Amino acid sequence: MSENVLHIDHLTMRFGGVVAVNDLSMDINRGEIVALIGPNGAGKTTAFNMVTGVYTPTSGKITLMGQDITGRRPDEITKLGIARTFQNIRLFSSMTVFENVLTARHLRRTSNFLSATFRLNAAEEKRMRQETEALLKEVGLYELRDEMATSLPYGKQRLLEIARALSTQPKVLLLDEPAAGMNPQETEELGAFIKLIKDKFDLTVFLIEHHMNLVMDISDRIYVIDFGKQIAQGTPSEVQNDPAVIAAYLGVDEEEEVSPA
Amino acid sequence: MTEIKRKKLDSATVISIVIVLALYVAVFVAEQFIPATSMLFTVIKKGATYALVAVSMNLLNGFTGIFSLGQAGFMLIGAYVYGIFTIPVISRMDVYQYYNGGLVQFTLPVFVAMLLSGLAAAFLALLIGLPVLRLKSDYLAIATLGFAEIIRALFQWDKLGPITNGSNMLRLFPNFNDFNIRNADGQVVVYLSTLVPLLIAGVCIFVIILLINSTYGRALRAIKDDEIAAEAMGIRLASHKRLAFCISSFFAGVGGAMLAMYQTTVQAKSFTTAMTYEILLIVVIGGIGSVTGSCLSSFLFVACSEWWLRFLDQKQVIGDFEVPLLRNGFRLVVFSIIIMIVVLFFRQGIMGRKELPDLIRQLQGKKVKGGASK
């Protein structure tokens, strides 16, 4: 088996009496694209929030490349190599496309506020700008670099969120419903894009998604959860034919999306 | 400045710098020829002081999104530290007449004392920032407001008299007029009493501009835009907020020292909440998130309140006609109306989020009449 990057061990999250995530265990290996799916309210985003440090799990352990990151602050976890995007886009609204991506370089700085203010770190600032330009070219946003982030069309904003996450130089990229609100063509392009950046930036991708076509198309493995509990896992074709998965989805409106077609 | 910076300097930025420098030259020349008692210089001196404090407040409220109302408290600390350490030793017996000449029996150079004013304010900001910065929006504003009130009361405490002179005022320390260069007979050769405060404020504001445009400035703006996203991008919220709070307080402290020089006396009871509101008003009128706006509006604000609207307070007679309503206090009525108009119709303030170079870029090469920026 290939090298294990992210290991989630019996993770449980309780909000008062509600168990949002119940005893979830996952293994994500280097270079994989792993999807976490499940009906609405199944606890997918809660799982993400625990991995990225927004919530401290009630119990369980999260390990990133052998290092225990359970309950660490979000900024520390990002520094250690997990970057994320958000289900509802959260770009820096007062900034341009370029500045959004540039700001995400801040965490790799070596300067302190004095050397940054008095420009003693000119070389570093220059390097950050160059790297940002290069990154924007690679993701195809270079032409839009001076636009305000919020003035971009919806699909481009999603792309910019991914670019911003990439700018933190992650090892694992967490995408929270990257295709939400996209039309079928945009979704297809997004799938190709995710595969492309995965190879280019040597990433491991962990995503939550409702567009089953996309999930089945790009994922190496899929975990399915319902009511916070894992109900199935495996390759796309295994999961598609799993009776537990079909049952979980049958009760809701998304049945036709998950049935093998 | 550095290489990349020079590469980035476009014509608009260069024009802005030239405008600001030209204003400095104009002030210097004017000072030599116009009598020093002119209202113009009073306005510039106080305006420069307020501009610095307003920009420091803007750094917090406009760029970091921390709604703090402690500015008067930090100014008070700056003013007192400056006063305490610069009163000449021979004058201390007069100033601290009820406290046996006070505890401090040495004098620091003016600029060292100013630096110390800033550092003292920044250090206090560090201490109160630990608990206070955990709060958000309104709660933070109330906590910082309360802190400013506590400081004001504390500095008037009789037991601290040997240091703060209790509720009595500090005086006889060097003020702006001491920047004038005099000959042996004590006659002023070169007037600098307006230029130097303007320079001090200019240098401080320039440093703030540099900070805002550095990687730290971007991080602060990111926090203002979206805390959750900023944290997810690896920006540590606590340390960056604390940094902004301390830097803002540092410059508020320096501003306090300048205010002490402007007033020539310091008394704790004058650093009221109303002073913070004045600064807040300047920031809002200028445009939250615009340094240029804060500078412009502080000069306008000071000019209106101290000079241009003064005639409203006196009886005015045109020919045989005595203008009704004009009497003591009417100025404030007009002033309030102007502010209401600004808030209603220019909700973004004078400048919005734009800076001087943006304005020039907009005008695209047309002749620009610059305001009193920086």
> With contact defined as beta carbons under 8 Å apart, do B292 and B23 qualify?
no
pLDDT band of residue B365 (cuts 50, 70, 90) is: low
The pLDDT value given to residue A2: 66
Of chain B, the percentage scoring pLDDT greater than 90 comes to: 56
Q: Is the pLDDT of residue B144 over 90?
A: yes
Range with lowest mean pLDDT among A178-192, A220-234, B85-99, B326-340: B326-340
Q: Is residue A15 part of a domain?
A: yes
Q: Is the pLDDT of residue B316 over 80?
A: no
The pLDDT value given to residue B366: 47
Find the helix or strand (DSSP H, E) in which B135 lies. Answer: none
The pLDDT value given to residue B186: 81
The pLDDT value given to residue A249: 78
State whether A116 and B214 contact (CB < 8 Å): yes
Q: Is residue A2 part of a domain?
A: yes
Mean pLDDT over the full length of chain A = 90
> With contact defined as beta carbons under 8 Å apart, do A201 and A217 qualify?
no
Closest CA to A207 of A85, A96, A113: A85
Name the residue of chain B whose CA is nearest to A94's CA: B225
Q: Which of B215, B216, B236 sits opposite A75 (nearest CB)?
A: B236
The answer to whether residue A119 neighbours chain B at the CB level (below 8 Å) is yes
The answer to whether residue A116 neighbours chain B at the CB level (below 8 Å) is yes
State whether B233 and A91 contact (CB < 8 Å): no
Q: Residue B158 gets which letter from DSSP?
A: G
The 3-state DSSP class for residue A26 equals strand
Q: Is the pLDDT of residue A261 over 80?
A: no
Of chain A, the percentage scoring pLDDT greater than 90 comes to: 74
> With contact defined as beta carbons under 8 Å apart, do B46 and B120 qualify?
no
pLDDT band of residue B369 (cuts 50, 70, 90) is: very low
In tens, the pLDDT along B76-105 reads: 999 999 999 999 998 888 888 888 888 888
Task: Say which CATH number the domain at A4 has.
Answer: 3.40.50.300
Binding-face residues of B in 77-96 toward A, CB within 8 A: none
Name the residue of chain B whose CA is nearest to A124's CA: B215
CA angle, A226 then A228 then A233, to 5°? 55
pLDDT band of residue B336 (cuts 50, 70, 90) is: confident
Q: What are phi and psi of B120, to 5 degrees?
A: -60, -45
- What is the extent of the structural domain holding A2? 1-72+206-261
State whether A94 and B289 contact (CB < 8 Å): yes
Q: What is the identity of the amino acid at A251? A: G
Q: Which of A105, A122, A165 sits opposite B3 (nearest CB)?
A: A122
What is the DSSP annotation of A63-112?
Answer: EETTEE-TT--HHHHHHHTEEE--SS----TTSBHHHHHHHTTGGG----
Q: Is residue A22 part of a domain?
A: yes
Q: Is residue A247 part of a domain?
A: yes
Distance (Å, rounded) from C-alpha A69 to C-alpha A145?
34
Averaged pLDDT for residues A126-137: 94
The pLDDT value given to residue B227: 93
Shortest distance between the Cα of B62 and any Cα of chain A, in A, equals 11
State whether B210 and A103 contact (CB < 8 Å): no
Q: Which of A76, A93, A103 sits opposite B218 (nearest CB)?
A: A103
For chain B, which residues make up each domain, given as ranges? 10-271+355-363
Averaged pLDDT for residues B7-11: 67
The pLDDT value given to residue B340: 85
Binding-face residues of B in 233-252 toward A, CB within 8 A: 233-237, 243, 247
Contacts of B174 (CB under 8 A, 6+ apart): B86, B110, B261
Name the residue of chain A whose CA is nearest to B247's CA: A113
Q: Best residue in B218, B224, B243 to probe A by mutation, most A CBs within 10 Å?
A: B218
Of chain A, the percentage scoring pLDDT greater than 70 comes to: 95
The answer to whether residue A86 neighbours chain B at the CB level (below 8 Å) is yes
Binding-face residues of B in 257-296 toward A, CB within 8 A: 289
Q: Is the pLDDT of residue A202 over 50?
A: yes
A95 contacts in B (CB within 8 Å)?
A: 218, 221-222, 225
In tens, the pLDDT along B184-238 reads: 888 888 899 999 999 999 999 999 999 999 999 999 999 999 999 999 999 999 9
In tens, the pLDDT along B19-65 reads: 999 999 999 999 899 888 888 999 999 999 999 999 999 999 999 99
Q: Is residue A5 part of a domain?
A: yes
The pLDDT value given to residue A208: 94
pLDDT band of residue A255 (cuts 50, 70, 90) is: very low
Name the residue of chain A whose CA is nearest to B8's CA: A126
The answer to whether residue A102 neighbours chain B at the CB level (below 8 Å) is yes
pLDDT band of residue B8 (cuts 50, 70, 90) is: low
The pLDDT value given to residue B2: 38
In our burial notation (b when 16+ CB lie closer than 10 A, e otherwise), range B244-253 reads bbbbbbbbbb
Distance (Å, rounded) from C-alpha B51 to C-alpha A127?
34
Name the residue of chain A whose CA is nearest to B236's CA: A75
Range with lowest mean pLDDT among A62-71, A132-141, B10-19: B10-19
Number of domains in chain A: 1
CA dist list (Å): A35 to A50, A240, B296: 16, 13, 54
Which residue stretches of chain B are H helix?
A: 3-8, 11-33, 39-58, 71-86, 92-95, 110-132, 137-155, 161-164, 195-212, 215-225, 227-232, 237-263, 273-286, 291-303, 330-345, 356-363
Averaged pLDDT for residues A117-126: 90
Range with lowest mean pLDDT among A86-90, A111-115, B240-244, B307-311: B307-311
B230 contacts in A (CB within 8 Å)?
A: 92, 103
A76 contacts in B (CB within 8 Å)?
A: 236
Distance (Å, rounded) from C-alpha A252 to C-alpha A250?
5
Mean pLDDT over the full length of chain B = 88
State whether B232 and A73 contact (CB < 8 Å): no
Q: Is residue A144 part of a domain?
A: no
Q: Is residue A228 part of a domain?
A: yes
pLDDT band of residue B371 (cuts 50, 70, 90) is: very low
In tens, the pLDDT along A208-246 reads: 998 888 999 999 999 999 988 999 999 999 998 888 888
Q: Is the pLDDT of residue B177 over 50?
A: yes
